[in-house]
């Protein structure tokens, strides 16, 4: 007679597994804490950036989408369902990231307890918590349609971990971030050759003559891919790779993706960076022959001048082609239909001006109500914040942004403008996107903002330079990276 397992065992098994997992979590956290103590903070930070990038890739790469409009018209499975599968496949990475973030926060808190005086970067932490936690509380208690999801805590948890990590060799961190961006660019271009309908949105009118498609790459939209490619250009120009072949690879891939994405948001951000960062840096006095900023300025002027020339050339061709001028005028006037989304959001906000409609301002029910199934946000950061959390939430957002801007301007020379450049990238996306709505921990928006927080906290914790000389001259010899990174040092 075969052995029969009692029914009670089947019933009790899930509870036993849950208890074992609950008991093992503290031990796993302690193990991770001890193991992380033997790893440099720069390495741990690069690992976190890599996990965010891999997770963001997986949320798209594991879907079965098509961007060919002709095929979309006859598609059986909706794109939203496909994306849900991609998100589900990356949950383990999310759990790993959250565990690592918690360990870094504990480690940072214990380190701060052993240090005399306050942390110079503490104002950033306060502003960050006021915005993220304050917005969550507003939506949970004061909005017209209150609501709360534990997922909204993921992004602030990771941002606090970025604050808690104390980085000395920032050049090494930038090198790691550049390779993550390069991986996205290369994979997007390779897939464009192998499966064009997966990464090329067509037909899609753009500013490049003869190109009737836009490169979405392994991201959700060209307006996500374009700014990340521009970020890769900024990082490579700011901290050049030691080998010319590697540097050329970074620049060529980033510029190709930047151009083919045809993201007006990214192109506008590039012009803003040239005006607000590159030109002021070029006007700074050099610290002698071959000064510290000379190579960066020359490279920035060369590549970004090409960007401006490409935009001007494309705009000229578009202006000369008057055949579809009326349709282009309508598209510009309505910002590709976004004004309708803004009007719907603002109408809902007016019912509760102080605290807004709530977190479901563009939830599933309202998308069905307005027959806008693919609209998940207000496509403008200010409008989105007003809709979610009203004037109170907008005030918290402006306080947080003003804190970052103050640091970017105060440490402009010392950071060689990298804080301001990345911040301008984020602000440029405010016009057509809502990048600061805590959209998910595995996203390229989170990747960019986490890097921004690392930059801000690093330079706030370093002594401010006493003069406007090239800041490499002010770096203590004890923290200069050895070997191949010597040429790119800028900690």
Instruction: Give me the pLDDT at residue 288, please.
Output: 46
* Of 216 and 305, more confident: 216
DSSP designation for 287: S
Pair type for strands 200-201 and 214-215: antiparallel
Share of the chain above pLDDT 70, in %: 71
Q: Rg for the chain (alpha carbons), in Å? A: 24
SS3 (DSSP) at 89: helix
pLDDT by residue (tens digit) across 299-311? 555 555 555 655 5
pLDDT grade for 312, boundaries at 50, 70 and 90? low
Does residue 322 register a pLDDT over 50?
no
Instruction: Give me the pLDDT at residue 36, please.
Output: 60
Residue with tokens 């930070």: 45
pLDDT by residue (tens digit) across 433-484? 888 876 678 899 999 999 999 999 999 998 866 544 333 333 333 333 333 4
Q: Give the residue-averaged pLDDT of 318-341.
A: 50
Instruction: Give me the pLDDT at residue 329, please.
Output: 38
DSSP per-residue letters across 96-151 = HHHHHHHHHHHHHHHHHHTSSS--TTHHHHHHHHHHHHHHHHHHHHTSSS----GG
Q: Give the residue-averaged pLDDT of 196-214.
A: 84
Instruction: Give me the pLDDT at residue 30, please.
Output: 54
Cα dihedral sign, 323-326-330-332:
positive
DSSP designation for 68: B
Instruction: Give me the pLDDT at residue 367, please.
Output: 82
**CA 156 to each of CA 150, 151, 159: distance values in angstroms, whole numbers, following the listed order:** 11, 10, 5
Instruction: Give me the pLDDT at residue 15, please.
Output: 60
pLDDT grade for 81, boundaries at 50, 70 and 90? very low
**CA 266 to each of CA 150, 257, 358, 395, 427: distance values in angstroms, whole numbers, following the listed order:** 31, 11, 29, 26, 11
Contacts of 87 (CB under 8 A, 6+ apart): 59, 440, 442
Instruction: Give me the pLDDT at residue 117, please.
Output: 76
Element (H, E) at 447: helix 444-460
Q: Give the residue-averaged pLDDT of 289-296.
A: 50
* Of 17 and 426, more confident: 426
Pair 404, 128: CB distance under 8 Å: no
Pair 242, 485: CB distance under 8 Å: yes
Question: For the ranges 174-188, 195-209, 292-306, which has the lowest average pLDDT?
Answer: 292-306
Question: For the ranges 80-94, 110-124, 213-227, 383-397, which has the lowest average pLDDT?
Answer: 80-94
Query: Mean pLDDT for the chain?
Result: 78
SS3 (DSSP) at 191: helix
pLDDT grade for 295, boundaries at 50, 70 and 90? low
Contacts of 482 (CB under 8 A, 6+ apart): none
Rounded to an integer, what distance in angstroms lies between the CA atom of residue 65 and that of residue 457?
A: 39
Q: Which two tokens stand for residue 157?
A: 């948890």
Does residue 42 register a pLDDT over 80?
yes
Rounded to an integer, what distance in angstroms lies between the CA atom of residue 223 and that of residue 77?
A: 24
Cα dihedral sign, 381-226-132-375:
positive
Using CB atoms within 10 A of its CB, is residue 329 exposed (0-12), middle (13-18) or buried (19+)?
Answer: exposed
Instruction: Give me the pLDDT at residue 320, please.
Output: 44
Rounded to the nearest 10°, the torsion over CA 247, 248, 254, 258 is 140
pLDDT grade for 340, boundaries at 50, 70 and 90? confident
SS3 (DSSP) at 452: helix
pLDDT by residue (tens digit) across 56-74? 998 888 877 888 776 665 5
Instruction: Give me the pLDDT at residue 109, please.
Output: 85
Does residue 49 register a pLDDT over 50?
yes
Rounded to an integer, what distance in angstroms lies between the CA atom of residue 488 and that of residue 475?
A: 13
* Of 239 and 30, more confident: 239
Question: For the ranges 148-162, 262-276, 317-331, which has the lowest average pLDDT?
Answer: 317-331
Instruction: Give me the pLDDT at residue 157, please.
Output: 94
pLDDT by residue (tens digit) across 351-367? 899 999 988 888 878 88
Alpha helices by DSSP H, listed for 284-431, are 294-320, 325-334, 338-349, 364-369, 381-410, 418-429
Rounded to an integer, what distance in angstroms lies between the CA atom of residue 402 and that of residue 406?
A: 6
Pair 131, 396: CB distance under 8 Å: yes
Rounded to an integer, what distance in angstroms lies between the CA atom of residue 278 and that of residue 144?
A: 45
Question: For the ranges 20-24, 78-82, 158-162, which has the lowest average pLDDT?
Answer: 78-82
Instruction: Give me the pLDDT at residue 341, please.
Output: 86
Does residue 222 register a pLDDT over 50?
yes
Share of the chain above pLDDT 90, in %: 39
Query: Could you tell me the pTM of the whole model?
Result: 0.80
């Amino acid at each position: 007679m075969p052995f029969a397992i009692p029914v009670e065992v089947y019933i009790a098994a899930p509870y036993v597994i849950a208890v074992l997992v609950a008991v093992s979590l503290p031990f796993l956290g302690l193990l991770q804490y001890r193991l992380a103590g033997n790893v440099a903070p720069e390495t741990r930070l690069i690992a976190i950036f890599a996990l965010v990038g891999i997770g963001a890739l997986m949320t798209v790469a594991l879907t079965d989408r098509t961007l060919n409009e002709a095929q979309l018209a006859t598609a059986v499975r909706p794109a939203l369902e496909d994306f849900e599968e991609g998100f589900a496949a990356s949950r383990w990475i999310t759990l790993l990231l959250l565990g690592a973030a918690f360990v870094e926060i504990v480690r940072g808190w214990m380190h701060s307890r052993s240090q005399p005086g306050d942390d110079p970067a503490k104002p950033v932490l306060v502003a960050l918590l006021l915005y993220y936690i304050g917005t969550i509380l507003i939506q949970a208690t004061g909005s017209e349609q209150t609501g709360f999801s534990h997922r909204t805590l993921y992004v602030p948890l990771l941002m606090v971990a970025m604050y808690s990590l104390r980085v000395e060799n920032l050049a090494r961190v930038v090198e790691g971030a550049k390779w993550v961006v390069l991986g996205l660019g290369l994979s997007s271009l390779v897939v464009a050759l192998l499966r064009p309908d997966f990464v090329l949105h067509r037909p899609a009118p753009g500013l490049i003559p003869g190109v009737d498609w836009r490169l979405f790459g392994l991201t959700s939209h060209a307006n996500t891919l374009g700014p990340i490619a521009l970020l890769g250009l900024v990082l490579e120009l700011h901290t050049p790779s030691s080998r010319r072949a590697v540097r050329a690879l970074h620049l060529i891939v980033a510029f190709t993706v930047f151009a083919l994405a045809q993201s007006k948001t990214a192109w506008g951000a590039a012009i803003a960076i040239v005006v607000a960062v590159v030109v002021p840096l070029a006007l700074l006095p050099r610290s002698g022959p071959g000064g510290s900023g000379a190579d960066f300025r020359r490279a920035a002027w060369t590549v970004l001048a090409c960007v401006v020339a490409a935009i001007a050339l494309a705009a000229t061709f578009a202006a000369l082609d008057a055949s579809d001028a009326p349709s282009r005028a309508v598209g510009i006037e309505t910002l590709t239909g976004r004004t309708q989304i803004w009007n719907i959001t603002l109408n809902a906000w007016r019912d509760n001006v102080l605290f807004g409609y709530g977190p479901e301002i563009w939830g599933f029910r309202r998308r069905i109500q307005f027959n806008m199934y693919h609209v998940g946000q207000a496509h403008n950061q200010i409008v989105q914040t007003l809709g979610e959390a009203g004037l109170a939430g907008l005030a918290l957002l402006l306080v947080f942004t003003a804190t970052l801007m103050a640091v970017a301007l105060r440490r402009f020379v010392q950071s060689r403008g990298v804080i301001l450049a990345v911040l301008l990238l984020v602000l440029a996306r405010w016009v057509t996107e809502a990048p600061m709505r805590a959209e998910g921990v595995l996203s390229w928006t989170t990747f960019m903002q986490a890097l921004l927080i690392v930059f801000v906290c690093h330079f706030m914790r370093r002594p401010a330079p006493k003069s406007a000389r090239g800041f490499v001259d002010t770096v203590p010899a004890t923290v200069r990276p050895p070997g191949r990174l010597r040429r790119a040092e800028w900690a």
